Structures are given as structure tokens and as C-alpha cells.
């Protein structure tokens, strides 16, 4: 592993100042960054360790929950307010990685999780627009079974691997940041960027800007939510397709709905076309199937990942069945 410098600021202001340095990277849980350092994909000059900052609180208020950026994935998944009020988030977190990794990984880090694209992770492959802007994309002509089919571009088809973000997206989460220019609040839907012509840019965060916390508004649908994940083995695997679904029921009639997909997009993917087809309709399997059939119409598949179109529609139905009491 290359060498680098290390700082552990005790104050937020100090962290933001250090983060401005060229070649600086923030580190929290380290589960992704240390891995990428070892692969030589990330080559920082300086690591700024955030672990001394006081961002480990989960605060529950009448209008929602505020989650500190350093809360571990395990602590968030097990929190009573999340289990009761945002079950899809808890399920998504527990379906991700391993218990060891969930103990280490933080909410802020999970938001900034980078792709598992094998070509991105292998520095011996020279062509990766995400790793090295303008160098090409080896995945386009490579083995792409795990790659994205939504939001892809001619420059990148790397999949966004997070489970947590899919659930957050379905729950109207807001990401709060602080940087040299002050504080910002960004809807999760706007936080991740599509690869387009610049796959090397992955989020709205600027260099040196820190995620301080994530807020989840109290909604009429979040408590009735579920996360369903299809993968190659029963545990400890990335999604082939996953769905977070949440609905608000008036008797048998769906008043509001949220449906998001993971495992298929270059960013967590919200399916508004499915949501619209659900509203005002009864919560039945037929309605769910008809609505889910509208998803994935913009999918651009390769010879290896065409199966994701049907699989994604099916995980949507499964998640809706779970929240709709149909199962």
C-alpha cells in the first residue's frame, strides 16, 4: 500500500480545513477506503480521520429522525425508532455486507459507497472512466452480469451497490452537509449523480465537504415499508436486484406509495411510474404486478444482464406484497 499522512481532527472546523488539502480524503469506518487503498484505486496523500467528531447520535423528534453521519450501520439497523418507523431501512442495512463490516461502516460512508465494478477495482485494467477520466470503459465490452441497466451512459455502466441508499430514497431522506461554503441540505434523490460523460463524479459533494447527518421525515408511508433483495447467495452478497417499497393505505386503497430499486441503477433508482400506477388502487397482487410492469422500461441491458429487467419487476411485486399484507 502506498504511504500517506494522517490527521485526526477533534473539531468539525479543523476537519473541514484539513479536508481542503489537495489529495486529502476523509475516512470514517474505512471498510471501503482501506480496501481501495490496498487495491491502489484510491491514492490519497492525506487521510483525515473523522472518528473523533460527535456525530454518533440518532435523535428522534416528532417530525422525524436525525441520524449522525458516524452512526454505524449496525446501530442504525437495530435502533427501535428505525425498526418501528422505517423498517425498510433496517432490513436494507441488515441485508448488506457482514456483521463485522456493518459494525465498522458508517451512514456517511455508505452514502458514498463506490461501485464494485471489477474493472474499476482492477488497476491493471487501464480503461475505467470512473477511475481515470477519459480512459474508456472496459465493462462495456467485458463481463457485465452485475452491472447497471438504468442510468447508464456510453462512458460507464458501473452499478451503485448500496442497499441503505435505496431504502433512504424511498423514505424521502435528506443529506445534510457542511463545507467551506457553509451548510447544505440535499435530497437523497439529488445526492448521487448519473455517470453521463463524467463517471468520475459520483455525488453532489464537493471536495472537502462533509456529510454531517441524514434526516428522515416522518411520513404516512415509512412505517409500512419493506426491503427485498435478490442475490446469488442467501447472505453477504451484493444485490442482483432489490426493492424498497412503502405504502400508505386507506382501508384497502393505496393513498401514497414509494418504490425504489437497487442492484440495477448507476444510482439508487426511484420508480415514480410505478408509484403513480399504485395510488388510488386497491392493494392486490394484480395491481402490484401491473404497476411493477411499468418499471425498467428505460433499461439498457448487455448480453449478460438482461435478466435484471424481469427480476427487478418481481422484487418490486414481492416488496409490495410484503407491505400490502398480500403475502
Partner 1 sequence: MMRVASLFLHPSLLALGLPMNRGQPMVIAFHNELQLQESLTLEQIRAELRGLGAALILVARGAVFVFQPDDEVDIQGSNIGIRAAAVDELRVACGFAPGAPAHELSLVVLSGGGSVVARHSLLATDSRLALKGLAEALSIAGTQAIGPHPATISRREVVLASLVGAFALLTADGCRPHAPPPSGPAAPPVPINRARKITLNVNGQAHELEVEPRVSLLDALRERLGLTGSKKGCDHGQCGACTVLVAGKRVNACLTLAIMVGEAPVTTIEGLAKGERLHAMQAAFVEEDALQCGYCTPGQIMSALGLIMENRAHTDAEVREHMSGNICRCGAYPNIVSAIQKARLETVPS
Site string for partner 1, 106-135 (x = CB under 8 A): ------------------x-----------
Query: Could you tell me where the beta strands, DSSP code E, fall in 15-128?
Result: 24-27, 46-49, 58-61, 64-68
In angstroms, give the least distance from the CB of 89 to partner 1: 17
Is residue 20 near partner 1 by the rule CB under 8 A?
no
Is residue 82 near partner 1 by the rule CB under 8 A?
no
For the four alpha carbons of 116, 117, 123 and 124, in that order, the dihedral sign comes to positive
In angstroms, give the least distance from the CB of 50 to partner 1: 10
228, 322 Cβ separation under 8 angstroms: yes
Q: At what angle do helices 285-292 and 307-324 cross, to 10 degrees?
A: 150
Is residue 21 near partner 1 by the rule CB under 8 A?
no
Q: Of residues 16, 18, 25, 31, which one binds partner 1 by CB under 8 A?
A: 31
Q: Of residues 11, 57, 98, 220, which one binds partner 1 by CB under 8 A?
A: 98
Torsion angle, CA of 202/265/170/56, rounded to 10 degrees?
-40
Secondary element (H or E) of residue 177: strand 174-179
In angstroms, give the least distance from the CB of 35 to partner 1: 5
Is residue 236 near partner 1 by the rule CB under 8 A?
yes
Beta bridge partners of 61: 64
Is residue 9 near partner 1 by the rule CB under 8 A?
no
Q: Of 103 and 284, which CB lies nearer to partner 1 in the complex structure? A: 103
Name the segment binding partner 1 (CB under 8 A); options: 32-40, 62-70, 238-246, 300-308.
Answer: 32-40
* Touching partner 1, residues 245-304 (CB under 8 A): none
Q: Of 5 and 190, which CB lies nearer to partner 1 in the complex structure? A: 5
Where do runs of H (alpha helix) occur along the chain? 12-19, 33-38, 73-78, 80-85, 87-94, 99-104, 107-111, 118-121, 164-170, 188-191, 272-278, 285-292, 307-324
Neighbours of 7 (CB within 10 A): 15
Name the segment binding partner 1 (CB under 8 A); options: 41-49, 196-204, 220-228, 259-267.
Answer: 41-49
Separation of alpha carbons 264 and 157, rounded Å: 10
Q: Using CB under 8 A as the criterion, which residues of the chain lie in contact with partner 1 when the complex forms? A: 1-6, 8, 23, 27, 30-31, 34-35, 37-40, 43, 45, 47, 49, 51, 74, 78, 97-101, 103-104, 124, 234-236
Amino acid at each position: 500500500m502506498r504511504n500517506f499522512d494522517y490527521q485526526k481532527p477533534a473539531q468539525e472546523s479543523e476537519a473541514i480545513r484539513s479536508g481542503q488539502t489537495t489529495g486529502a480524503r476523509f475516512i470514517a469506518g474505512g471498510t471501503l477506503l482501506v480496501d481501495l487503498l490496498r487495491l491502489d484505486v484510491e491514492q490519497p496523500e492525506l487521510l483525515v480521520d473523522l472518528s473523533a467528531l460527535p456525530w454518533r447520535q440518532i435523535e428522534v423528534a416528532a417530525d422525524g429522525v436525525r441520524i449522525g453521519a458516524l452512526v454505524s450501520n449496525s446501530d442504525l439497523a437495530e435502533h427501535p425508532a428505525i425498526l418501528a418507523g422505517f423498517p425498510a431501512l433496517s432490513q436494507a442495512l441488515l441485508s448488506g455486507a457482514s456483521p463485522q463490516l456493518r459494525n465498522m461502516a458508517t451512514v456517511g460512508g455508505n452514502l458514498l459507497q463506490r461501485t464494485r465494478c471489477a474493472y474499476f477495482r482492477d488497476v491493471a485494467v487501464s480503461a475505467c472512466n470512473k477511475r481515470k477520466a477519459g480512459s474508456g470503459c472496459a465493462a462495456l465490452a467485458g463481463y457485465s452480469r452485475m452491472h447497471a441497466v438504468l442510468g447508464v451512459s456510453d462512458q460507464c455502466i458501473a452499478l451503485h451497490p448500496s442497499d441503505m441508499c435505496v431504502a433512504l430514497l424511498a423514505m424521502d431522506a435528506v443529506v445534510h452537509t457542511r463545507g467551506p461554503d457553509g451548510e447544505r441540505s440535499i435530497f437523497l434523490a439529488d445526492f448521487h449523480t448519473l455517470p453521463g460523460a463524467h463517471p468520475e463524479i459520483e455525488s453532489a459533494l464537493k471536495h472537502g465537504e462533509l456529510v454531517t447527518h441524514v434526516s428522515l421525515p416522518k411520513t404516512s408511508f415509512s412505517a409500512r415499508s419493506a426491503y427485498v433483495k435478490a442475490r446469488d447467495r442467501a447472505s453477504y452478497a451484493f444485490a442482483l436486484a432489490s426493492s424498497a417499497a412503502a405504502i400508505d393505505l386507506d382501508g384497502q386503497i393505496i393513498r401514497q406509495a414509494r418504490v425504489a430499486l437497487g442492484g440495477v441503477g448507476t444510482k439508487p433508482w426511484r420508480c415514480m411510474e410505478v408509484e403513480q400506477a399504485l395510488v388510488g388502487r386497491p392493494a392486490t397482487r394484480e395491481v402490484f404486478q401491473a404497476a411493477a410492469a411499468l418499471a425498467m422500461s428505460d433499461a439498457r441491458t448487455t448480453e449478460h444482464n438482461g435478466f435484471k429487467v424481469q427480476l427487478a419487476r418481481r422484487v418490486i411485486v414481492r416488496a409490495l406484497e410484503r407491505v400490502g399484507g398480500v403475502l
